[in-house]
Amino acid sequence: MFVSLEGPDGVGKTTQVALLVEALRAEGRDVVQCREPGGTELGERVRSLLLDGDVAVGDRAEALLFAAARAEIADEVIRPALAAGRWVVCDRFIDSSIVYQGIARGLGVESVRAASVFATDGLLPDRTIVLHGVDRRGDQPDRIEAAGAEFHRRVAEGFLRLAELDPARVVLVDATGAEDAVAARVRAAVDGGGA
Ligand code: TYD
């Protein structure tokens, strides 16, 4: 089972990824945790390039670099884990590209999705959980977090649209309230229930 967690910056996703992995392991499941961009040597280097405010990156180059990092993690980490019968929980995947590059940067949902599907050779999560409703961005923004209020408004709206684009895979989860209450909603959403 391949699960991705998604949402705008500052929604509390990283905490919820850790809590979900903990809950699944407590149920006896063998879980691989990963994050995007990253998880491989190339992916970590691409991550530094993409998040470093000193490196200028054009929109299409940005989309292709995220896709290149995704190709590596799909081949080196995710497919082998799934083939061994393990669970994979990934902090961001294809939907971040669809929303940040396709919608918020304006490159178009279809072309960004196509680049990403090419990168992963068709691999998609079985379930994608989109957290929404909270914005706790810190005061040390990386290059993408520093993109401005209008950009982040488009990101937040874009994530809400995702569930409409792919209702069989994507579940929206309300991220407001106590961490453990959100964690319970996330766990339920893995099994298919919306919240
Ligand atoms: P990260 O520090 O992982 O942010 P977060 O903790 O919010 O997940 O940085 C990843 C940043 O890259 C984040 O702003 C979202 C952005 N991003 C894209 O724009 N496109 C993508 O395909 C991915 C995976 C991330």
Instruction: Specify if 58 maps to a domain.
Output: yes
Instruction: Specify if 179 maps to a domain.
Output: yes
pLDDT above 90 (res 193): no
Predicted local distance difference test score (pLDDT) of residue 31: 98
Predicted local distance difference test score (pLDDT) of residue 89: 98
Residue whose CB lies within 8 A of the most ligand 1 atoms, among 55, 92, 140, for a mutation test: 92
Mean pLDDT of 111-124: 98
Share above pLDDT 70 across residues of the chain, in percent, rounded to a whole number:
98
How does pLDDT run across 172-191, given as a tens digit for each residue? 999 999 999 999 999 999 99
Task: Give me the numbers of helices (H) and strands (E) for the chain, helices first please.
Answer: 8, 5
pLDDT above 70 (res 195): no
β-bridge mates for residue 89, sequence order: 3, 33
- The sign one gets for the Cα dihedral 83, 86, 87, 92 is negative
Predicted local distance difference test score (pLDDT) of residue 138: 86
pLDDT above 50 (res 3): yes
Instruction: Enumerate residues lining ligand 1, CB below 6 A.
Output: 9, 13-14, 36-37, 51, 66, 91-92, 96-97, 100-101, 144-145
Using the mean position of ligand 1's atoms as its centre, give its distance from the Cα of residue 96 in Å.
7
Instruction: Provide the residue range defining the domain that includes 36.
Output: 2-190
Instruction: Specify if 186 maps to a domain.
Output: yes
Mean pLDDT (the chain) is 95
Residue whose CB lies within 8 A of the most ligand 1 atoms, among 93, 94, 100, for a mutation test: 100
Cα–Cα–Cα angle for 139, 182, 47, rounded to 5 degrees:
45
Instruction: Specify if 15 maps to a domain.
Output: yes
Instruction: Specify if 125 maps to a domain.
Output: yes
β-bridge mates for residue 171, sequence order: 129
Distance CA 190, CA 129 (A): 7
DSSP state of 76: I
Distance CA 188, CA 195 (A): 8
How does pLDDT run across 13-69, given as a tens digit for each residue? 999 999 999 999 999 999 999 999 999 999 999 999 999 888 999 999 999 999 999
Range scoring the smallest mean pLDDT among 41-45, 113-117, 147-151: 147-151
- Tell me the backbone φ, ψ of residue 91, rounded to 5 degrees: -80, 100
Cis peptide bond prior to 37, omega within 30° of 0: yes
Report the CATH number at residue 26: 3.40.50.300
Question: What domain count does the chain have?
Answer: 1
β-bridge pairing 87-91 and 2-6: parallel
Residue of minimum CA distance from atom 17 in ligand 1: 96
DSSP state of 146: G
Instruction: Specify if 86 maps to a domain.
Output: yes
Instruction: Specify if 53 maps to a domain.
Output: yes
Instruction: Specify if 195 maps to a domain.
Output: no
Residue of minimum CA distance from atom 5 in ligand 1: 9
Residue of minimum CA distance from atom 4 in ligand 1: 9
Predicted local distance difference test score (pLDDT) of residue 81: 98
DSSP state of 91: E
